[in-house]
């Protein structure tokens, strides 16, 4: 008999099977789907489901990993050219401490005397197969009959979106938006992030508004983290070393990093053993060459304090640059792409083959384009000048440059580009000046990056202004006609979807690519766990 579920076909006819059958998946959510397809009355246990002759379990967190070099020799804890290359005669593996409990559960199941068949339901790729084989190896599985279930369980379907607002202050509110159901709003005090996370988990598992039946279906949590200094150039599963680095970067990201760490630790407390993944906003900029990220100040300040250009909005730039390569059908090895992330916060990146070579934000998000409330590039002496004239401290002036400048500062109207444009259309000259200065700065940066890369294959617009402001795109592109850009004005009227807004005759492809940082974080998380 065949039972179909989400395009998976599972053989539930247990001919000639005397013992029990184990179905081992990567994630609890996938395991649940297998359980549904088997049409068996399962009882939930700690780390698995069991009913009749069937057991369903999972390898969430991958369970087993290759040992680090210091497991072979403590002297290899710090690498050096003298010890490279290091190629052991026999590779060592070990259980990942954070998920050791689940490994022991799986080990006990796979080695049970009453288990005869093991159905390997991990994703049907190299990684999925490897995950199971390492578990089998470390668990010492022998004498069982194994069958491979050929499926790919990964989808990018959104189950729910939500937002916790005003944590720690009056008027706290959770907005939960499950796909295919009505929005669910909870107005309840949230004195800290732990309470907020509990409310989120309660909403996700609510019998009427939820999208999962148990928090054990959550196999990992991805976190956007602002700053990792120069330590991490990729996303990483959080451990104590990762948290230490996040703390050490508090000075570099004083508004974001402390809150990011609080969120991570709140999730750890609510979901013990569930992998937490840090996706760093500065990671994309780590591929910049030294000539792009160094400031022309005494080198000792770079060595002592890590003062350099890092770039921000990295998760968005990484996502959009890669999507642009696919959408515009560019050569992924060497294509030159400029991404314009234009919103209340605004930045531009230049990448070759999807790797960042320059980006407009610097040590902090203050450098670069004119933004909603941020000044962007200014002469550093402006800070001293205002301090002296207004009798203000450096911190006070930096607060002005971050929160009272940009199009707000020039226009005197608003930090919202829509309000500024409305005021311009009503004859407000300062609003007009603000918009023109913003457009000019974008054109100038695009031109600089074309020069830096010695050409450009595609320009992509994203974020609130980039995706939705038709007139802003038209004005920016009108200043780039020297590049041979031809705009499809009808296509440029579209919003909110991947759109080619240049004509087939255009020498540079121009497109609108809506950013999706949540999806980017989810992809990074799935790749690691």
Catalytic residues: 281
Question: What is the C-alpha separation between 69 and 368, in angstroms, rounded?
Answer: 42
Q: Length of the chain, please?
A: 529
| Maximum separation of any 2 CA atoms in the chain, in Å | 90
Dihedral (Cα; 206, 210, 216, 219), 10-degree rounding: -150
Question: Contact at 8 Å (CB) between 131 and 62?
Answer: yes
Which residue, among 318, 379, 377, 372, has the nearest Cα to 346 in the 3D structure? Answer: 372
Question: What is the C-alpha separation between 149 and 9, in angstroms, rounded?
Answer: 8
Both tokens of 423, joined, read 């005021």
Phi, psi for 159 (deg, rounded to 5): -85, -35
Both tokens of 288, joined, read 């910049």
Q: Where are the alpha helices (DSSP H) in 310-393?
A: 314-327, 381-390
3-state SS class at 483: helix
Give the C-alpha distances (Å, rounded to integers) separating 286 from 230, 231, 279, 322, 391.
7, 9, 13, 16, 38
Q: Which residue in the block uniquely carries the two structure tokens 């780390």?
A: 47
Please report the sign of the dihedral spanned by the C-alpha atoms of residue 313, residue 317, residue 323, residue 324: positive
Please report the sign of the dihedral spanned by the C-alpha atoms of residue 209, residue 212, residue 215, residue 219: negative
Give CA 213 to chain center in angstroms. Answer: 25
């Amino acid at each position: 008999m065949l039972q179909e579920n989400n395009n998976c076909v599972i053989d539930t006819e247990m001919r000639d099977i005397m013992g029990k059958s184990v179905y081992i998946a990567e994630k609890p959510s996938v395991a649940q789907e297998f359980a549904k397809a088997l049409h068996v009355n399962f009882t939930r246990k700690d780390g698995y489901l069991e009913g009749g002759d069937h057991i369903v379990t999972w390898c969430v967190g991958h369970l087993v990993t290759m040992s680090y070099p210091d497991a072979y020799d403590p002297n290899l804890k710090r690498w050096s050219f003298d010890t490279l290359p290091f190629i052991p005669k026999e590779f060592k593996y070990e259980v990942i401490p954070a998920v050791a409990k689940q490994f022991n559960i799986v080990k006990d199941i796979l080695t049970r005397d009453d288990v005869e068949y093991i159905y390997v339901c991990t994703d049907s790729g190299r990684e999925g197969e490897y995950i199971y084989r390492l578990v089998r190896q470390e668990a010492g599985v022998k004498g069982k009959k194994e069958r491979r279930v050929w499926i790919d369980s990964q989808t990018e379907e959104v189950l729910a979106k939500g937002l916790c607002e005003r944590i720690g202050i009056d008027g706290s509110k959770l907005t939960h938006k499950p796909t295919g159901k009505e929005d669910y709003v909870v107005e309840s005090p949230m004195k800290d992030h732990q309470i907020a996370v509990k409310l989120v988990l309660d909403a996700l598992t609510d019998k009427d508004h939820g999208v999962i039946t148990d928090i054990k279906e959550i196999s990992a949590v991805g976190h956007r983290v602002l700053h990792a200094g120069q330590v991490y150039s990729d996303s990483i599963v959080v451990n104590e070393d990762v948290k230490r680095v996040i703390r050490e970067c508090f000075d570099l990201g004083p508004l974001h990093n402390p809150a990011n760490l609080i969120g991570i630790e709140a999730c750890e407390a609510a979901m013990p053993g569930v992998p937490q993944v840090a996706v760093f906003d500065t990671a994309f900029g780590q591929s910049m060459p030294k000539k792009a990220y160094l400031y022309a100040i005494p080198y000792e300040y770079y060595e002592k304090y890590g003062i350099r250009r890092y770039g921000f909005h990295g998760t968005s730039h990484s996502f959009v640059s890669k999507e642009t390569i696919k959408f515009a059908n560019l050569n992924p090895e060497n294509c030159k792409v400029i991404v314009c992330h234009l919103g209340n916060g605004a930045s531009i990146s230049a990448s070759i083959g999807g790797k960042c070579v320059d980006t407009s934000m610097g040590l902090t998000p203050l450098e670069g384009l004119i933004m909603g409330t941020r000044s962007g590039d200014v002469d550093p002496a402006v800070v001293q000048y205002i301090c002296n004239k207004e009798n203000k401290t450096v911190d006070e002036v930096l607060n002005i440059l971050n929160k009272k400048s940009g199009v707000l500062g020039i226009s005197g109207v608003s930090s919202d580009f829509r309000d500024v444009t409305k005021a311009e259309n009503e004859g407000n000259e300062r609003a007009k000046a603000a918009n023109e200065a913003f457009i000019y700065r974008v054109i100038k940066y695009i031109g600089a990056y074309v020069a830096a890369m010695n050409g450009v294959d595609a320009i992509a617009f994203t974020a609130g202004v980039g995706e939705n402001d038709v007139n802003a795109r038209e004005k920016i592109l009108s200043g780039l006609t020297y590049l041979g850009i031809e705009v499809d004005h009808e296509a440029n009227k579209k919003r909110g979807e991947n759109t080619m807004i240049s004509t087939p005759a255009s020498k540079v492809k121009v497109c609108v690519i809506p950013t999706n940082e949540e999806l980017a974080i989810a992809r990074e998380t799935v790749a690691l766990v």
